[in-house]
Copies of this chain bind each other. A is one copy, B any other.
Amino acid sequence: MDVRTICLGILTRGDATGYEIKKLVEDGGYQHFAEASFGSIYPALNGMTETGLVSVRAEAQEKRPDRKVYSITPQGRSALIATLLKPLAEDRHRSPFMFAIQFADLLPKERITQMLDAYIAHIEEEMRQLRQSKTAPKTTGESFVRDFGVTMYAAMLDYLRTHRARIETPEAQAAE
């Protein structure tokens, strides 16, 4: 999904600033299937203001840039729904970790162990964050997606812990 659609989606749940949208994408339950940076969010919001998909109201603040709070307009809502009714692009998964493991035979054993430890720790953290994410799921869809994420992370951890020996101690390979 492009950044515009992500912004529209988030705004259906309530008004927000660009800054807040970024935070929601990062750890509001969107982490495991979407991404967006400031450099793409701000221009997206400005563009959509011009085309009437969102509206802004500026809240003055002392000694800080004005908060620009965005709301989705009826047109924005229609545009979002239209996008969601069109054929969806395919999922994309890119894993430098899995790529590296593919070539485990070229790397020292200690590196494999270190990569596994770091990767497992990272997934544990992502899972923890998803479980206790600030924004509690408000719709059925949200809880479905969140639980899906947690389930996948759990399956990943289970596989990695159960099978890591296969690549850490290649000698034991045949014994499985």
CB proximity of A77 to chain B, nearest CB, Å:
8
Q: Is A117 an interface residue (CB 8 A)?
A: no
B35 contacts A1, C-beta separation under 8 Å: no
Known contacts A106-B84, A152-B156; A6 and B141 CB within 8 A of each other: no
Q: Which of A1, A98, A102, A144 has the most CB of B within 10 A?
A: A102
CA distance A165 to B88 in the complex (A): 21
Look across to chain B and name the residue whose beta carbon is closest to the beta carbon of A150: B159
Most chain-B Cβ atoms within 10 A of its Cβ — which of A32, A100, A122?
A: A100
- On chain B, the residues within 8 Å of A96 by CB distance are 1, 88-91
In the complex, residue of chain B having the shortest beta-carbon distance to the beta carbon of A148? B159
Q: Are B103 and A12 in contact (CB under 8 A)?
A: yes
Question: Assuming the A-B contacts A85-B111, A106-B81, A139-B105, are A33 and B94 also in contact, with contact meaning beta carbons closer than 8 angstroms in the complex?
Answer: yes
State the Cβ distance, A54 to closest chain B Cβ, in Å. Answer: 16
A31 to B, closest residue via Cβ: B93
Which of the candidate stretches A14-22, A44-52, A56-64, A166-174 sits at the interface with the other chain?
A166-174
Please encode chain A, from 6 to 31, with 1 for each CB lying within 8 Å of some chain B CB and 0 for all others. Answer: 10010010000000000000000110
The docked-state distance in angstroms from the alpha carbon of A88 to that of B141 is 33
